[in-house]
Structure 1
Amino acid sequence: MQKTLIRERLLTELDHARLNHLRGAQLPPELADSLDTLDIVPSREVPADVVTMYSQVLIEDLRSHERQKLTLCYPEDAEPHQGFISVFSPVGASLLGQRVGATARWRTPNGDACEAEIVTLLFQPEASGDYTT
C-alpha cells in the first residue's frame, strides 16, 4: 500500500535557513509553500529515512516501475543528466522532507502528473554525521 505523508514532512533547521535565504531567488511556488508547512527539526535529530539536502535516493516511477537514483541539491549544483536534481525543480521540491516509502507527486513543466515511491535512501548527510553540508 502506497502512503503519502502530508504535514509529516521534515526539514532540518540548516536546510530551512538556507532555503529561506534563497527566497529572494524566486523559489518555485511548490517549494515556497512546502517551507511554510514542513516540520523543522535540528540536524542531529532528523531520522535517517528522511530526504534532506544532498541526500541520494532511489525512486520508482509508479507507472513504468522504472527506478532512478537522484541526489537532491541546490540549483547551482544541479546536473540533471548525472542525477543531481535541484530542489527548485518540481521533482526536487516534492522529494524534500519525504520519508522512505512515501509517494512523491509533481507536475512536469508541460503539466504531466508524475508520482514515484521513495524506495530507499542511499545516502543522507546527517545519517553519516555531516550536519553542515
Structure 2
Amino acid sequence: MPAKIHGERMLTELDHVRLAKLIDGKSLPELEDLLDTTDVVRSCDVAPDVITMYSQFSIVDAHSGQRQELTLCYPRDAAPAAGFVSVLSPVGTGLIGLRAGATAKWQMPGGDEGGARVAEILFQPEAHGDYTT
C-alpha cells in the first residue's frame, strides 16, 4: 500500500515507541512505513476522535456496508472473533492513527484489498485520562 503522508494519521508518543519495539529486527514494512510517515503527538494532546492502542471503535466495511465494533490491541491480546484486532494485522495497521470519518485500506494475505470507514470512536483511553495503557 502507498505510504500515508503526514497529517492523515496521528500516533501518540507512547504508541509510537511501543510499536517500534514490536519491529525488533522483524521485517514489517507496513508498520515501518507507518512509523516513518505518521505525525507523533503527546498522549495528552491526541484528538479524541483518533484510533489509538486499545481504542474501541466501529467501522463500516467498504464492500458489504456491514458495521462492526473492534478494539485495537497488541498481538498478545488479539482475539479476532471477539473483536480484538492486532495492530500487526493488515486491518490493525490500516486503522491505527485514523480519525473518525476516515477510510482505511489494506492488503489481505490472499492479495485482495479490504477497506472500511471509521464510523465512530466508542472509547479512546487518552480521552478518558489514561495515558499509559
TM range (shorter): over 0.9
**Aligned residue for 1:114?**
114
Aligned counterparts, 1:94-109, within 5 A: 94-109=94-109
1:7 alignment counterpart:
6
Residues 25 and 121 of structure 1, relative CA distance in 2, 3 Å threshold: farther
- Partners in 1 of 2:95 and 2:5 — Cα distance? 12
Q: Distance in 1 between matches of 2:125 and 2:32?
A: 23
1:24 lines up with 2:47 in the alignment:
no
For 1:22, the aligned partner's letter is L
Query: Distance in 1 between the 2:93 and 2:100 partners?
Result: 15
Aligned partner of 1:37 in structure 2 is 37
Provide the C-alpha distance between the structure 2 equivalents of 1:102 and 1:40, rounded to a whole number of angstroms: 18
Distance 2:42 2:111 in 1: 35
Cα drift, residue 93 of structure 1? 0.2
1:57·1:71 contact (CA, 8 Å) conserved in 2? yes
Match of 1:101, SS state, is coil
Moved over 3 A (4+): none
What's the offset of the Cα at 1:25?
5.8
The unaligned stretches of length 5 or more in structure 1 are none
Residues 24-47 of structure 1, C-alpha deviations (whole Å, 9 max, x = no match) = 162532111101001000000000
Aligned with 1:36: secondary structure?
Answer: helix
* Amino acid aligned to 1:7: H
Instruction: Supply the distance in 1 between the matched residues of 2:125 and 2:27 (Cα, whole angstroms).
Output: 23
Alignment-mate amino acid for residue 57 of structure 2: V
> TM-score when scaled to structure 2?
0.93
Indicate how the Cα distance of structure 1 residues 10 and 65 shifts in structure 2: closer, same or farther if over 3 A, else same: same
Unpaired segments of 5 or more residues in structure 2? none
| Corresponding position of 1:131 | 131
Contact 1:27 1:88 in 2 (8 A): no
> Kindly tell me: are residues 102 and 26 of structure 1, through their superposed partners in 2, closer, same or farther at Cα, counting changes over 3 Å?
same
2:91 corresponds to which letter in structure 1? V
